[in-house]
Structure 1
Amino acid sequence: MSFIAGASACNSQSKPYTPPPTKLHVTYPEPSDRNPHGFDAYVLTLLRLALENSGHPFALTPVKRPSFGETRSENFLQMREYNLHWLNTNLHREKLLRPIRLPLFRGLIGWRLALVKLGDERQFENTHNLTHLSHFKAGQGHNWPDNPILRRNGIPLQLSASWEGLFKMLDQGRIDYFPRSVIEIWDEQSLPLARGLTVEPNIVLHYRAAYYFFTRRDSPELATAIESGLYAAIANGDFERTFNQFYGRAIQRSQLGTRRIIALERNDLNFPVAELLWYKPPKRE
């Protein structure tokens, strides 16, 4: 049908028929066990806001899966086990999949505080730059996308096969610190496995980093709808309200404006340049 119902094809006053928006069927993984950093609740809230603001009817369906890492999720997306996931971006991931280039955490994933053994925070009192930091060994997981960033900036790494193992390594003195983002560290510090650990109070590592929604390369309609919905949520204030609701307290506790910022270089990716998409802490007095 090319024209609205009841109109004559010969009627010059008739208006072109506009089909209703396509219903979006969005599937995403719901692992049975995840690290308790609360990513899922926040990101799913944003996803629902984006879909509600996209102008499309939608169905949002979780796909139950055992726990897995982000590298495996790349494969699951390509295998069509689901059609969307939120992942920490890197060059390989952006070539393989379709990124929706709007940083879901406003870049807070790249503001890293140091989890240290209680009493060891004094070791970092005179740490002001990368040269000083290079004397300390950081703990990271295997295949974490920020490992190359840290290595390129001269930071020694000790890798672990598991997230839980890094807490044990820190407690045993096998690493000097465990760099965790502002949105992770406070929840993790309160866990039983972090007993005897504390957050170093004076420094913060910073580099550009972003979690994006990713779809398959052959899903342009879904990606476009979510992107437009996210920008609509920014424009009407829903995005910022959600961000502050979930992470305002963590930002306040982190006191980024009072810390010495140790900036790490990153030039492997092109990130969005609009300042409103990125969190910017107050200047240190």
Structure 2
Amino acid sequence: MKKLLFACLLISFSGLASTPLTVRYSAGGHAYPAELLTLILSKSAITMVPSEVPDIPSQSRAIRLLGEKNGIDVFWGATSSEWENQAKAVLIPIDRGLLGYRIPVVHISHKDMFAEVTHARQLIPFVFGLREDWPDTAIFKRNELDTLMYGTGAEPIEMLRSGRIDALPYDIFDLPKNHGDDIIHEPHIAIRYPSAVYFFVANDNQALHKLLNDGLLAAIADGSFDTLFFKYFAAVIAQADLKNRRIIELTNPLLPRSAPIHQPQFWLDKNSLTK
């Protein structure tokens, strides 16, 4: 039965193993997901070639373009129930939960702004800036934190400089960036909530979903997933110095129940990050 199902999936791709198949994804952003996509596609018997599609302005636009004639085939982003209704998620977190750690970016004159913060309720007096189409925005609002939303054309660093916001809770991957001598990554805390970044495909694209899922499992099993992950993120994990930060936990009511939270092989061990 499984062999018959897989045969049907191959036929539905209309290419068969000898014909290269283009897999389209949105250009820009961090290089890791695109390289991971290339890696897991290489695990398939079908020859698939990733292809960047430029000029997609937002994540909400990208997910709506899944499966469209002039759209894309694969999208990645932090999951939510809304997005899992719009598209079919491959339920293996490609960030291993690391995107759930946020390091506030602040003006240097406010470098000790969070020096006395030990729990989430103490964040309520501050104004956080988050982009309107990021799932994180809804998470901060659900935790009753004052959140100023901005659009894709805004300049959040300038909003920070002008005092319109107190902090930008950027993800841990932002740490290596230099936003200017007057803008720093706050040294005292890290904000954390359960989060998973998935690959998504169109709801009716069962074939690509299976190939991505199988490719991820194969990469995890042979160690190539970890090799690629730590190639990109070992340095930033060390730079975050989480053992010397207070971890401020937020709840994430948007994390769907489908998240494989009881499968530890898919996640970084939180305790190991803070040793």
The code of the aligned residue for 1:276 comes to Q
- Choose 160-169 or 22-31, whichever is displaced more: 22-31
Q: Do the aligned partners of 1:141 and 1:163 also contact (CA within 8 Å) in 2?
A: no
The counterpart of 2:94, out of the listed 77, 83, 104, is 104
The code of the aligned residue for 1:243 comes to F
Residue by residue, what CA displacement relative to the aligned partner does 1:113-164 show, whole Å, maximum 9, x if unpaired?
1101003121211001111111111111112211121111121111212375
Counterpart for residue 44 of structure 1: 34
The counterpart of 2:167, out of the listed 171, 174, 177, is 177
Question: Which runs of 5 or more structure 1 residues have no equivalent in the other structure?
Answer: 1-17
* Aligned CA distance change for structure 1 residues 204 and 120 (closer, same or farther; 3 Å): same
The counterpart of 2:216, out of the listed 208, 224, 230, is 230
1:275 and 2:264 equivalent?
A: yes
The code of the aligned residue for 1:103 comes to P
Q: Do the aligned partners of 1:115 and 1:185 also contact (CA within 8 Å) in 2?
A: no
In structure 2, distance between residues paired with 1:126 and 1:263: 15
Counterpart for residue 3 of structure 1: none
CA drift of 1:278 comes to 1.5
* Aligned CA distance change for structure 1 residues 62 and 229 (closer, same or farther; 3 Å): same
* Aligned CA distance change for structure 1 residues 210 and 26 (closer, same or farther; 3 Å): farther
The counterpart of 2:229, out of the listed 239, 243, 262, is 243
The code of the aligned residue for 1:213 comes to F
Root mean square deviation, CA, Å? 2.3
Q: Do the aligned partners of 1:130 and 1:154 also contact (CA within 8 Å) in 2?
A: no
* SS of alignment partner, residue 50 of structure 2: strand
In structure 1, distance between residues paired with 2:79 and 2:106: 27
Deviant stretches of 4+, over 4 Å: 18-21
Counterpart for residue 73 of structure 1: 62
Residue by residue, what CA displacement relative to the aligned partner does 1:147-186 show, whole Å, maximum 9, x if unpaired?
1211111211112123751111111111111001111232
Count of aligned residue pairs for this structure pair: 258
CA drift of 1:88 comes to 2.3
Counterpart for residue 27 of structure 1: 23
CA drift of 1:72 comes to 0.6
- Quote the sequence identity (%): 26
Residue by residue, what CA displacement relative to the aligned partner does 1:6-32 show, whole Å, maximum 9, x if unpaired?
xxxxxxxxxxxx97963472422344x
The code of the aligned residue for 1:132 comes to Q
Counterpart for residue 131 of structure 2: 141
Question: Which runs of 5 or more structure 2 residues have no equivalent in the other structure?
Answer: 1-5, 11-15
In structure 1, distance between residues paired with 2:153 and 2:187: 22
The code of the aligned residue for 1:66 comes to D
Q: Do the aligned partners of 2:41 and 2:48 also contact (CA within 8 Å) in 1?
A: yes
Q: Do the aligned partners of 2:128 and 2:168 also contact (CA within 8 Å) in 1?
A: yes
The counterpart of 1:82, out of the listed 72, 76, 80, is 72
Q: Do the aligned partners of 2:142 and 2:253 also contact (CA within 8 Å) in 1?
A: no
In structure 1, distance between residues paired with 2:94 and 2:166: 30
In structure 2, distance between residues paired with 1:163 and 1:117: 21
The code of the aligned residue for 1:272 comes to P
CA drift of 1:265 comes to 1.0
Counterpart for residue 206 of structure 1: 192
From the CA coordinates, give the structure whose radius of gyration is larger: 1
The normalised TM-score by structure 2 is 0.86
CA drift of 1:211 comes to 1.7
